[in-house]
Amino acid sequence: MKKKLLALLLCAAMTLGLAACGKADNQQATDSGEGSKLAGDSSEEYYMVSFLSGIDYWKTCFQGMEDAAALYGVTAQYTGQTDSDVAGQVAVLEQVIAQNPKGIAVTCVNSTALEDTINSAIEQGIEVVTFDSDSPTSNRSAYLSTGNVEAGEKAAAYLAPLCNNQGKIAILYTVGAENSESRVTGFKSWCEENAPGITFVDVNDAGDTTTATDNMAAALQANEDIVGVFCVDGIAGTAGPTAVKEAGREGVKVLAFDVDKTVLDMIKSGDIDATVAQGQYNMGYWSMVMLYTQAHDLSAVDLPGFVDTGVTIVTKDTVDNYYVKE
């Protein structure tokens, strides 16, 4: 698998590196009656499809896709429904398939509900990759997302030393949510191995901001020795620091997850120490690279089944770089 990934990335790097000389090479190829696979055409369309369309998270993903598309000279389009309705996303995806694009990058609101629609697109000759949220039983070529266990480990490696590697850390997350559970597993595993003086207080945010704030407030009241809070998901990212601030617990260290504007603002104000930024730009960028690679048969090897697009710790020193540029 590592060899396949390396081969793909080398192919992609070569493709992007040659983009600068693509015009001259393409002109020569055109003159000789041969087209260049490294220079596409603006009429060639690739789509990104999401749910909850328009939120900042997807804007960053699509920016990555657009930038990669520009290097190839092709067109990237974005669409999606405004809610999390499964039937709605199926309908949007079917509408995109009817446009007969070269490729589609889709984040799946449900892991199984889009399987038939994705497979239908592939049967019609359209390349499909998934990003952020997968459809693992479909025939999609690849899945690009955060390695959540690794993200949890990186979060622990930041927050535990901030708490002097000892004391209680509250973990605020949606119990039962796969991504969150994996992050918690990584966080606890790292602490158990590297900071055994850390103990944990699990707090359920229940996927609701009000409930999350109330539950975190109750945990703080019941555990006066909490020294840190790991806010594992988007809901927790605002609810956790709000509860800490309302409780007057100024010494408690707070690490959030994701880079919503509210979270970034709280880093600037000092209510949050840092946040874990997912590689949304990488998700979009490499989705486009993979789709183009598949559509133009540029790689002699299969795409990797999963690509970890990485995470970055965002602090007050770097927070300005993470606001979405309109």
Which pLDDT score, from 0 to 100, does residue 13 have? 44
User: pLDDT by residue (tens digit) across 187-225?
Assistant: 999 999 999 999 999 999 998 999 999 999 999 999 999
| Cβ neighbours around 42 below 10 Å, total | 11
Long-range contacts (CB closer than 8 Å, 24 or more residues apart) made by 83-92:
83/51, 83/52, 84/51, 84/52, 84/109, 85/51, 85/109, 86/110, 86/113, 88/51, 89/49, 89/51, 89/113, 89/114, 90/114, 90/117, 92/49
For residue 36, is it left (φ>0), alpha (ψ between -120 and 50) or beta? beta
Hey, do 2-146+279-309 and 148-278 end up sharing a CATH topology, with the first three levels equal? yes
Choose among 152, 143, 130, 322: nearest CA to 233. Answer: 152
Tell me the domain boundaries of the chain: 2-146+279-309, 148-278
Domain 148-278 sits in CATH at: 3.40.50.2300
pLDDT in tens, 61-71: 999 999 999 99
Question: How high is the mean pLDDT in each 10-residue block of the chain (326 residues)?
Answer: 41 41 36 54 95 89 97 97 91 98 95 95 98 94 96 98 98 92 97 98 94 98 97 95 97 96 96 97 97 93 93 97 85
pTM for the predicted model, two decimal places: 0.80
- The pLDDT, as a whole number, for residue 2 is 38
pLDDT for residue 38: 66
pLDDT of residue 23: 34
Name the CA dihedral angle for 135, 90, 103, 139, rounded to a multiple of 10 degrees.
30
Q: CATH number of the domain at 2-146+279-309, out of 3.40.50.2300, 2.130.10.10, 3.40.718.10, 2.70.150.10? A: 3.40.50.2300
Give residue 55's pLDDT.
85
Residue 36: what pLDDT? 55
As a whole number of angstroms, the distance between CA 307 and CA 205 comes to: 29
pLDDT at 25: 39
Instruction: Round to the nearest angstrom and report the end-to-end CA distance of the chain.
Output: 38
State the pLDDT at residue 31.
Answer: 42
How high does pLDDT run on average in the chain? 89
